[in-house]
Amino acid sequence: MSATSKLAYFVRTAVGSIVRSPFVHVIAVASLSLSLLGFGVARLARAQLDALVDSLGGEVELTVYLAGDAPAEQVAELERALTQRTGGEVRRVSPAEALGRLATQLGEDGKGLTELSDNPLPWSLEVRLPKAARDPAALADLATRTRALPFVTGVDYGEEALARLTMIARALEIASLIVFSLVFLTAVIVVSATLQLAIFARREEIEIQKLVGATDRFVRVPFLLEGLLQGLLAAALALLAVLGLVTWLESGDGGLLAFTRLDGRLLVDWARLSAELVGIGCLLGLLGSFIAVRRFLRV
């Protein structure tokens, strides 16, 4: 039998099995779709929370307060060093600008500040920290080194806010890993259990194939194709469900969930999400099929 004939036989057998036992395969596809939907929703939530954390983290700055007699050359050298160390944008703020900001923030209570004859605020350097430079340990070390300079009177980088943002990011990573593990385990068990029913119903056919000399690989391939088809169908259904959920949320009917939208739209990388759902669906279908066939192949 040629390779083309074998492939046609395998595909025909797999599709025929699905047509002959639709109930079993519908259960498998539905269960797998729910598992993949859970993964897709978790991915969607992770993307929105990451964007929210990034938007909050955009306000994290490292501020270096300078002495009144700080040498200009050493201040310029410090600016270059901070830019190189953090990869952020360094900006020099004058006492007048700092006082004007404070007066604006205080509103009516800050009007009296503009009438002060002596500005008590010092020159400062503000460093807007990119995401990659917000490691608490690295920033603590940088702050300690900067405070040790003789012309620096203080350093502030919002230690508490940064620590909370870091905790949120780590919690999101752990939650995503847990969800993925649960989805993977549940889907493998469901696919394996449902395909075992299909294989059991065809046990006589398998036995005849083995008696006439069919190899284990020849018997196994149609069932692996069944699992693959189940994974593809489940991924498509899960992707459509995620699309429907996103459309519903963006329409404004999401109620309390509407706060997750940034600028009125959800952040979704559809190409990546589609590839992940299809890849995971196919992997789970193949793995579940392999486990089921391996158990019943000894006839």
- What would the mean pLDDT of 38-66 be, rounded to a whole number? 74
Q: Do 262 and 277 belong together in one domain?
A: yes
Assess whether 48 and 97 both reside in one domain. no
Last residue within a domain, chosen from 157, 191, 210:
157
- CATH code for the domain of 117: 3.30.70.3040
Torsion of CA 21, 22, 23, 27, to 10 degrees: 120
What whole-number percentage of the chain has pLDDT above 70? 75
Q: Which domain holds residue 136?
A: 61-157
User: In terms of C-beta density within 10 A (0-12 exposed, 13-18 middle, 19 or more buried), how is residue 231 classed?
Assistant: buried
If asked whether residues 190 and 276 sit together in one domain, one would say yes
* Same structural domain, 132 and 169: no
> 50 and 170: one domain?
yes
* Residue 48 pLDDT class (50, 70, 90 cuts): confident
Instruction: Let me know whether 144 and 268 are in one domain.
Output: no
189 and 251 belong to one structural domain: yes
Range picked from 32-46, 155-169, 230-244 for highest mean pLDDT: 230-244
Same domain, 42 and 83: no
Q: Answer yes or no: do 50 and 65 share one domain.
A: no
- Domain shared by 131 and 28, yes or no: no
Secondary structure class of 52 (helix, strand, coil): helix
Report CA-CA distances (Å) from 233 to 23, 25, 133. 15, 10, 42
Same domain? For 65 and 173 the reply is no
| pLDDT tens-place string over residues 156-195 | 877 776 677 677 777 877 877 787 787 778 777 777 777 6
Whether the pTM exceeds 0.85: the reply is no
